[in-house]
C-alpha cells in the first residue's frame, strides 16, 4: 500500500518532481515507513503466532481497512507536512545526514525482527520469512551505511536483490501450499478407499455367513416341523419323531461349527483340523432333503462307492 505513493511521488517517475504534491523528502519518508511495516509485523507475528482465534471474514476486512487507512494517513502527513519533518534529501539525488540516521532506525528494527524470527522459527513459512527479512536487513544496511545518494551502484543492486528475494519467497510459498493441498487431497482419497474396502469386505463376510448357516437352519426348521407332525398323529410315532429331533440337534451342532469356522478365519478360535468323510456329508445332505420329501411320502436314496 505504501509502495504505491512511494512510486507516485518518486521524482522523475511520473512527474519531474513526483505526484501528490510531494516535497523533496516526501518519497524518502515513505521509504522509511515502507521498510518499518514488514519488520514490525514480523516481530508481532513471532510473538502472536500461537494466539489462536476463529478469524472471521470481517476480521480480515477490518485489518485490510486499517492498513489502507494507515497508509493513506502516513502519505498525507509526509506529503502535506514535509517541511515540519527533518529534511532527508539535499536535492533529488543526495541524502542528508538525517536520511542515514532515520534509516538506521529501520535497520535496527529489521535486525530485531530477524532475531525474533530466528528464535521462533518452526514452520516452512518461517524459513522463507527468514529469506525476506534477510534481504530487508541487507537493503537497510546498505542504505544506512553505504549509499549516500539515489542512482548509485548500491541503490540499483539493492533493489534488484530485494525484488529477486520477494519473487523467490512468493514462488516458494505458492509451491509449498500447492504441494500441501495435493498431499491432503491424496490422504482424503486414501482414507475414503480404505473405508470402502472395509464396507465391501463386511458385506462379503455377511453374505458368506448367511449362505453357510441357511442350510442347517432349513434342516432345523424342517426337522422340528416333521417331529410335530409325527407327535400330533392319532397314534404318535415316537421313534420317527425321535429321529427327526436327532437331526435337529445335529444341525444345531453343525451351525455352531460353521460359526466357529468363520471366527477362526479372524484367528479368534483355536483351530481344530479333522478328516472329512465325504460319504457321510452327502448322506447328511440327502437326509436333510428327505424330511420334507418323507412328509410327501416320497424318498430320495443315494448309493455311495
Instruction: Please give the angle made by the CA atoms of 201, 207 and 213, to the nearest 5 degrees.
Output: 135
Residues of span 94-133 touching another protein by CB under 8 A:
122-132
Closest by CA position to 74, among listed 82, 64, 86: 82
- At closest approach, how far in Å is the CB of 50 from another protein? 7
- Which of 169, 226, 241, 244 lies at the binding interface for another protein (CB under 8 A)? 169
Q: What track of x and - describes contact with another protein for positions 208 through 247 (by CB under 8 A)? A: ----------------------------------------
Interaction between residue 73 and another protein (CB under 8 A): no
Closest by CA position to 219, among listed 250, 188, 196: 250
Interaction between residue 258 and another protein (CB under 8 A): no
- Residue in this structure with the C-alpha cell 511495516, named with its chain if needed: 37
Q: 25 and 79 in contact (C-beta within 8 Å)?
A: no
- Which of 73, 97, 115, 191 lies at the binding interface for another protein (CB under 8 A)? 191
The cell for 40 is 514490525
Q: With respect to another protein, which residue has the nearer C-beta, 115 or 177?
A: 177
* Angle formed by the axes of helices 26-48 and 57-80, nearest 10°: 150
- Which of 72, 167, 265, 281 lies at the binding interface for another protein (CB under 8 A)? 167
Q: What track of x and - describes contact with another protein for positions 35 through 64 (by CB under 8 A)? A: xxxx-xxx-xxxxxxxxxxxx-x-xx--xx
First-last CA distance in the chain: 98
- Which of 173, 217, 243, 258 lies at the binding interface for another protein (CB under 8 A)? 173
* Phi then psi dihedrals of residue 216, to 5 deg: -60, -30
Q: With respect to another protein, which residue has the nearer C-beta, 154 or 261?
A: 154
Amino acid at each position: 500500500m505504501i509502495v504505491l505513493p512511494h512510486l507516485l511521488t518518486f521524482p522523475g517517475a511520473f512527474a519531474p518532481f513526483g505526484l501528490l504534491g510531494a516535497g523533496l523528502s516526501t518519497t524518502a519518508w515513505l521509504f522509511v515507513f515502507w521498510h518499518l511495516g514488514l519488520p514490525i509485523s514480523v516481530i508481532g507475528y513471532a510473538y502472536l503466532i500461537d494466539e489462536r482465534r476463529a478469524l472471521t471474514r470481517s476480521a480480515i476486512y477490518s485489518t485490510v481497512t486499517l492498513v489502507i487507512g494507515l497508509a493513506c494517513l502516513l502519505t498525507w502527513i509526509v506529503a502535506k507536512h514535509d517541511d515540519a519533518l527533518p529534511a532527508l534529501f539535499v536535492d533529488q539525488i543526495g541524502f542528508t545526514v538525517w536520511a542515514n540516521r532515520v534509516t538506521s532506525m529501520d535497520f535496527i528494527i529489521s535486525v530485531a525482527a530477524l532475531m525474533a524470527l530466528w528464535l521462533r522459527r518452526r514452520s516452512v513459512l518461517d524459513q522463507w520469512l527468514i529469506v525476506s527479512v534477510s534481504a530487508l536487513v541487507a537493503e537497510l544496511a546498505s542504505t544506512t551505511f553505504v549509499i549516500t545518494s539515489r542512482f548509485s551502484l548500491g541503490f540499483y543492486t539493492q533493489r534488484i536483490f530485494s525484488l529477486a528475494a520477494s519473487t523467490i519467497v512468493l514462488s516458494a510459498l505458492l509451491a509449498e501450499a500447492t504441494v500441501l493441498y495435493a498431499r491432503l487431497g491424496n490422504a482424503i482419497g486414501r482414507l475414503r478407499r480404505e473405508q470402502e474396502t472395509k464396507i465391501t469386505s463386511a458385506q462379503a463376510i455377511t453374505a458368506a455367513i448367511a449362505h453357510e448357516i441357511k442350510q442347517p437352519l432349513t434342516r432345523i426348521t424342517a426337522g422340528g416341523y416333521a417331529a410335530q407332525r409325527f407327535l400330533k398323529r392319532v397314534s404318535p410315532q415316537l421313534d420317527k419323531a425321535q429321529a427327526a429331533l436327532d437331526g435337529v440337534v445335529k444341525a444345531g451342532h453343525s451351525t455352531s461349527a460353521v460359526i466357529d469356522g468363520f471366527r477362526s478365519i479372524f484367528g479368534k478360535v483355536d483351530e481344530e483340523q479333522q478328516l472329512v468323510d465325504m460319504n457321510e456329508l452327502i448322506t447328511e445332505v440327502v437326509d436333510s432333503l428327505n424330511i420334507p420329501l418323507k412328509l410327501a411320502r416320497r424318498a430320495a436314496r443315494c448309493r455311495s462307492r
